[in-house]
A = this chain, B = another copy of it.
Amino acid sequence: MREGRELCYFWDSLVAFTLREAQIEVLLGLRGGASGRGDDELEVSWNSSFGRMTVREELRGPAGAIAKEKRQRSERSEPPEVPLSGRKAGPSLHMAPGLSNEKKTEDGQSSRENSIHLCNPHLEKMKEDILYHFALGTSTHDFPALFGDVKFVCVGGSPSRMKAFIAYIAEELGLGSPGGDYPNICAGTDRYAMYKVGPVLSVSHGMGIPSISIMLHELIKLLYHAKCSNITIIRIGTSGGIGLEPGSVVITRQSVDATFKPQFEQVVLGKTIIRSTNLDEELAKELLQCSKEVNQFNTVIGNTMCTLDFYEGQGRLDGAICLYSEEEKLQYLKEAYDSGVRNIEMESSVFAAMCNLSGVRAAVVCVTLLNRLEGDQISSSHDILVEYQQRPQKLVGYFIKKSLGKV
């Protein structure tokens, strides 16, 4: 690692921010990575405005920015980084041993498996970890036995849709149970529902950033405790489209905020940190190719706007509160379209940010239930909406089959 370089290596490493009024201390605890395919990077920059501190965290790593990283290297005419196998830990105030489920082959070399990266050194000190909103815990459940074989995690807002998905994928993979019933693994709570068949886990996340954020914290810890590797997480959801025929499927290139920026503002101890919302470009392309092979509905790759509110936040005129005109709404939606936004939903930004930080390959695949340039109310018939909602399931189901060599 060269001194003074703005990009710092980040692999199984820990960053501790101490934010105090006008001062920022960034404590970088670095540990040598040995993934065999180059190290990941954490970009840290910051600014302070009006007494409010903003820290930009951008992890470029296994979760999708590899292509971008290579492109940047090429633009800078730099050689690719030499894999730093066996690199020693740098000086660190907060060393976090064992925070990756890195696997060794018989000759002691690291394999190419991508394990879950927990950005939290405190967990190692805990004797037990209770995943409260899943009603699961490490001292009451054998996570490696229950979940160790998981390779694909599909998440979506509605519990019943995620139950329907597990039945669908079971059938597709030839793993259907005789009675066709799949027990809810989180039966001890009604916060989330979780189903599993073979290497596929299906989890509901409710609506909105906070709801999916709680689920993802506990899901990432679940996968870590289960020693899972090479995980792909895909959100299959519904959304409002912009300039697309209803029923079109959007694979998210970037999740953008309400000002069309590809970032997520996370408030940590009262301070705002900005996180990258990049998603895996290669995975998006693979999914688009799958859609061409399925050939049943229109699918595009585009940006997805993620909002904190369904009504005012998305410019709807039909909420209980609306203090703007139809012209202002349409201007906003057209600006979104011009910036590359093709659909609007409420979970993708924190989903992308957390998968990025945890080193998990991730994608967002949402069907559009209406064209927001033409209206706000979702007034299609129940049957049409049900068919629309099956489209991301079909696409992702085909992708999983293809990944497992079953197509």
Contacts and interface: CB of A to CB of B under 8 A. Distances in A.
A378 B132 contact: yes
A357 B323 CA distance: 12
A310 B210 contact: yes
Nearest to A269: B332
A120 B312 CA distance: 11
Tally of this chain's copies: 2
Nearest to A129: B318
Given A210-B346, A332-B269, A379-B130, A120 B320 contact: yes
A207 B216 contact: no
Interface stretch (A168-176, A217-225, A226-234): A217-225
Interface stretch (A12-20, A146-154, A283-291, A398-406): A12-20
Interface string A308-342: 11111101011111111110110010000000000
Interface residues of A, number: 78
Contacts of A269: 258, 312, 315, 324, 328-329, 332
Interface in A45-95: 49-50, 94
B126 A323 contact: no
23 contacts: A16-B323, A16-B324, A17-B323, A18-B328, A119-B323, A121-B322, A122-B318, A123-B322, A129-B377, A132-B378, A158-B191, A188-B382, A207-B211, A210-B210, A213-B309, A217-B310, A224-B320, A258-B270, A260-B270, A267-B308, A267-B312, A267-B313, A269-B329
Closest 3 CB pairs of A and B: A208-B210, A220-B320, A120-B322
Interface of A: 14-18, 49-50, 94, 118-123, 126, 128-130, 132-133, 157-160, 188, 190-191, 206-211, 213-214, 216-218, 220-221, 224, 258-260, 266-270, 307-313, 315, 317-326, 328-329, 332, 346, 354, 357-358, 377-379, 382
